[in-house]
């Protein structure tokens, strides 16, 4: 365990779990890196790196106001109530805005291209603006994201920048390339939690947005559940105190990183998001932090060596980039490789690595199974979801197992023998797919 945080600042601890022993000639080193932040979220304190007290957070609430939000007619009402609940959850002094999203994006509050500051007066006026929202027009999510970015840009002093994006439909009124351009421009500018209400939106499309913006994605099948969900999202956002933290991986000469994945609390592949950070080092974004713990799977390929050799395979650091191009190191851990001819040592898979490898395979099996089912390939769908049931059972992921049981009848969980259920609801299918990447921590 290593923590290098300054006194009075949030503390970051980095723990590395691995089996460092490799057989002669072996080249792949796997490690689970657990990062734990304490004292920086719900326990209070100003953002790490902030030069002076003041509004340290900014929030933009993006609400789908397209024509489909009037079917049923209670959907828009619940969306307005949920947004009001989120505004009530914001702490005084936070900067915020509300955006109405259709085939365009309009900042309906405060409405001047800037952000307001939360207080009794602004809360009341924001709720008045919500009452004037009515469904009309289409859906162009890229324009919503661009509007949120512009609003955040108007308030550069905010260190925590978080958006909530609610939609009930697919991105039908702009080209995929337009959405991608908006995401490219917004990546690193703010984080975003995405919610789909009902069952007429696209899971993969909304996950693409949440992944790019380092947030969460979930389904709220019944509009009546929006208010509680919005309160929870805002409470989590208000607990964030450290932004733009990166996982820095340094490897020695002739070694290279094969992949870096967040594996808890959800699976998120960060490999392609590496940015250079000096000689033989790269940074992988982790977003904003409060009081929480996350796990990352780091896989490094090293040069093969003879029995008795050992090397530092990787140095893992949690860093906070500074305006002058340097980086403050918040915590650090080491990944080692030792070559041995002891078969028992070299073939033993670390329990943390084994657990999260199974959890990642579980998420992939669900994704592939649901895709096969949509394509009409029932045999492949059954096989993939059978594998998912087996992995969920073995990994102790009871939440995912319960979701799977709404889609398939489980004959034998241990063996992964299942049958597709008849008349599966769209809500159950989408809930399974949306929450497929959520993992459970390894049992101690």
Angle CA 422–423–424, to nearest 5: 95
Task: Tell me the C-alpha distance between 6 and 47, whole Å.
Answer: 12
- Whether the bond into 110 is cis, omega within 30 of 0: yes
Task: Tell me the C-alpha distance between 341 and 327, whole Å.
Answer: 40
Give the model confidence (pLDDT) of 249-290 as tens digits. 999 999 999 999 999 999 999 999 999 998 999 999 999 999
| Lowest mean per-residue pLDDT among 46-55, 303-312, 376-385 | 46-55
pLDDT at residue 407 tops 80: yes
| DSSP 8-state assignment for residue 165 | E
Q: Work out the percent of the chain whose per-residue pLDDT is above 90.
A: 90
pLDDT at residue 41 tops 60: no
- Tokens 């380092």, residue located: 214
Q: How confident is the model at residue 56 (pLDDT cuts 50, 70, 90)?
A: confident
Which DSSP string corresponds to 321-367? E-TTS-EEEEEEEEEEEEEES-HHHHHPPPHHHHHHHHHHHHHHHHH
- Tokens 């319960």, residue located: 402
Beta-carbon neighbour count of residue 3 at 10 Å? Answer: 15
Task: Tell me the C-alpha distance between 300 and 159, whole Å.
Answer: 33
Which DSSP string corresponds to 209-276? HHHHTT--EEEE-SGGGHHHHHHHHHHHHHT--EEEEEEEEE--TT-EEEEEEEEESB-EE-GGG-EE
Q: What is the mean pLDDT of residues 50-60?
A: 63
Confidence (pLDDT) at 238: 94
Confidence (pLDDT) at 322: 85
- Whether the bond into 72 is cis, omega within 30 of 0: yes
pLDDT at residue 202 tops 50: yes
From 134, 116, 136, 114, select the one nearest 126 (Cα to Cα).
Answer: 116
From 140, 1, 178, select the one nearest 64 (Cα to Cα).
Answer: 140
User: Sign (positive/negative) of CA torsion 247, 248, 250, 256?
Assistant: positive
From 313, 307, 297, select the one nearest 353 (Cα to Cα).
Answer: 297
Between helix 74-89 and helix 226-238 the angle, nearest 10°, is 20
pLDDT at residue 40 tops 90: no
DSSP helix/strand/coil, 137: coil
Which DSSP string corresponds to 61-98? EEEE-SGGGGSSTHHHHHHHHHHHHHHHHSPTT-EEEE
Quote the tokens at residue 97.
């805005």
Task: Tell me the C-alpha distance between 283 and 246, whole Å.
Answer: 6
Q: What is the mean pLDDT of residues 319-344?
A: 93
Name residue 292's beta-bridge partners: 37
Give the model confidence (pLDDT) of 119-155 as tens digits. 999 999 999 999 999 999 999 999 999 999 999 999 9
Which CA distances in Å does 172 have to 138, 175, 223? 7, 8, 22
- Evaluate whether 185 touches 144 at the Cβ level (below 8 Å): no
Confidence (pLDDT) at 57: 95
Buried b (16+ CB within 10 A) or exposed e, 290-318: bbbebbbbbbbebeebeeeeebebbbbbb
Give the model confidence (pLDDT) of 212-252 as tens digits. 999 999 999 999 999 999 999 999 999 998 999 999 999 99
What is the residue-averaged pLDDT of the chain?
A: 93
């Amino acid at each position: 365990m290593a923590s290098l945080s300054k006194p009075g600042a949030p503390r970051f601890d980095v723990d590395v779990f691995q089996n460092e022993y490799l057989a002669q000639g072996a080249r792949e080193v796997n490690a689970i890196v657990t990062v734990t932040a304490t004292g920086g979220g719900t326990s209070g304190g100003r953002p790490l790196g902030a030069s002076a007290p003041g509004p340290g957070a900014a929030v933009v609430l993006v609400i789908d106001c397209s024509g489909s939000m009037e079917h049923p007619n209670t959907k828009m009402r619940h969306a307005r109530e949920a947004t009001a609940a989120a505004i009530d959850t914001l702490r005084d002094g936070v900067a915020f805005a509300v955006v109405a999203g259709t085939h365009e994006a309009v900042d309906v509050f405060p409405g001047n291209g800037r952000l307001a500051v939360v207080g009794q007066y602004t809360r009341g006026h924001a709720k008045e603006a919500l009452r004037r929202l009515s469904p009309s027009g289409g859906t162009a999510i890229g324009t919503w994201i661009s509007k949120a970015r512009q609003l955040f840009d108007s308030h550069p002093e905010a260190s925590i920048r978080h958006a909530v994006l609610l939609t009930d439909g697919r991105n039908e009124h702009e080209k995929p390339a337009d959405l991608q351009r908006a995401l490219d421009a917004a990546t690193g500018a703010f984080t975003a939690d995405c919610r789909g209400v009902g069952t007429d939106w696209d899971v993969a499309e909304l996950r693409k947005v949440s992944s790019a913006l380092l947030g969460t994605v979930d389904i709220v099948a019944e509009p009546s559940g929006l208010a509680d969900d919005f309160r929870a999202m805002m409470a989590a956002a208000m607990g964030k105190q450290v932004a733009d933290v990166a996982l820095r991986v340094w490897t020695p000469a002739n070694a290279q990183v094969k992949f870096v994945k967040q594996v808890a609390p959800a699976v998120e592949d960060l490999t392609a998001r590496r940015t250079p950070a000096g000689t033989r080092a790269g940074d992988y974004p982790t977003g904003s932090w409060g009081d929480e713990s996350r796990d990352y799977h780091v896989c490094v390929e090293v040069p093969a060596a003879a029995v008795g050799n050992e090397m530092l395979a990787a140095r893992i650091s949690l860093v906070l980039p500074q305006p002058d191009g340097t980086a403050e190191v918040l915590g650090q851990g080491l990944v080692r490789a030792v070559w041995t001819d002891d078969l028992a040592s070299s073939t033993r898979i670390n329990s943390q690595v084994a657990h999260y490898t199974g959890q990642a395979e579980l998420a992939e099996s669900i994704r592939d199974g649901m895709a096969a089912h949509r394509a009409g390939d029932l045999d492949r769908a059954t096989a993939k979801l059978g594998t998912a049931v087996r992995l969920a059972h073995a990994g102790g992921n009871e939440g995912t197992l319960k979701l799977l049981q709404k889609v398939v009848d489980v004959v034998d969980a241990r063996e992964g023998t299942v049958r597709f259920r008849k008349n599966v609801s769209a809500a159950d299918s989408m809930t399974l797919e949306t929450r497929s990447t959520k993992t459970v921590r390894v049992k101690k």
